[in-house]
Amino acid sequence: MHRTFSITVPPATTELLCQQLTALETVISLSVQPGASRKPPGDIITVQVLNRGTDAVLRHLQNTLPPEQISVASSELSSLMSPSQASLIMGDKDEAIWEEIESGLRHQGRPTANFMLLMSLGGIIAAVGLVSKPVPQATAFIASSILAPGFEPLAAMPLGVVLQRWHVTWRGLRSTLLGYSLFIGAACLTMLLMAATGASSAEELATNPEVISMSQPDLKSMLVSGCGAAAGIIIIAAYRRSVIAGALIALVTMPAAALIGCSLALGRSHLALEGLARLSLDVALVVVLGLIIFQAKQLFLHRRKPSE
């Protein structure tokens, strides 16, 4: 998607910034509303820019204004029509800016009541899936992986490291610990309920083929998880969130976390350790591949730190 930036600047810098931005080939249109902003006070510059020019616009802004004077709102454009620049528009690319990536991960991974409820519900569904037959099991695993917002906090940790924004890393770690604790706890309580009512048993859990496969991962399953982890990071970096479900399904973080809770509920500590090992492997894949992909994006594409 192309971008619109609404930039509020002090009147003294409006002309200089407009000259810099107008010179950029990727800026399709630029307009100024003198004195239109009341908070913060100043002029409003509206810029419609190709996706591949967003970082150049923000670099000029960061170089022209001190951080405390920067005020920018970004939004997506469904389309841009300018026949004289049609070839430029058609050659645009799909990348998110750092600010959008960070904002999206913060929104999805903030430990709000909704976040905690979704993680808990995901734990219940995944626990039922662990002791279900293949078709309902697949449905439960897919549903829990998509419903529970467990990927975004993991992705926030390597993003914060690459950008040296340690509060982003800390928030991701905090949400990860809280979210997965709730997920595991919900799975544990669900299994206790199923065992108490006779709906399931320790034997049914231990002999489930998917549990055995999960606790003894082979190269094939690790390749799928690795591709899922890499795809999830790329999807976030490319602002393609509508297709992130595929990456979440490829990972085994949610079923593995549920295995920990269910095994603890039934006193099967060895299964809990195997679930923890598999969860740790998938988490490590997300973090390590996130570091590599985000660092590559910074070195070869963005080449700037996000605005505070």
> Cα–Cα–Cα angle for 301, 307, 308, nearest 5°?
145
Cβ neighbours of residue 290 closer than 8 Å, sequence gap 6 or more: 154, 155, 157, 158, 159, 229, 233
For residue 207 the two structure tokens come to 């002999």
> At the top level of CATH, which class does the domain 2-90 belong to?
alpha beta
pLDDT at 243: 87
Give the model's pLDDT for residue 80. 87
- Among residues 121, 275, 116, the alpha carbon closest in space to that of 190 is found at 121
The pTM of this model reads 0.94
Residue 56 corresponds to which amino acid?
Answer: A
Written as tens digits, the pLDDT of the chain (308 aa) is 799 999 999 999 999 999 999 999 999 999 999 999 999 999 999 999 999 999 999 999 999 999 899 999 999 888 888 888 888 889 898 899 999 999 999 999 999 999 999 999 999 999 999 999 999 999 999 999 999 999 999 999 999 999 999 999 999 999 999 999 999 999 999 999 999 999 999 999 999 999 999 888 899 999 999 999 999 999 999 988 888 999 999 999 999 999 999 999 999 999 999 999 999 999 999 999 999 999 999 999 999 989 86
CATH number corresponding to 98-302: 1.20.1080
Q: What is the CA radius of gyration of the chain?
A: 23
Q: Determine the pLDDT at residue 129.
A: 97
Q: Any bridge partners for residue 275, and if so which?
A: none
Q: Is there a contact between 6 and 34 (Cβ–Cβ < 8 Å)?
A: no
Q: Where do the domains of the chain lie?
A: 2-90, 98-302
Tell me the residue length of the chain: 308
User: Distance between alpha carbon 135 and the CA centroid of its chain, in Å?
Assistant: 28
DSSP state for residue 26 in the 8-state scheme: T
pLDDT in the model for residue 240? 86
Peptide bond into 40 cis (omega under 30): yes
Question: 74: closest CA among 2, 6, 27, 21?
Answer: 6
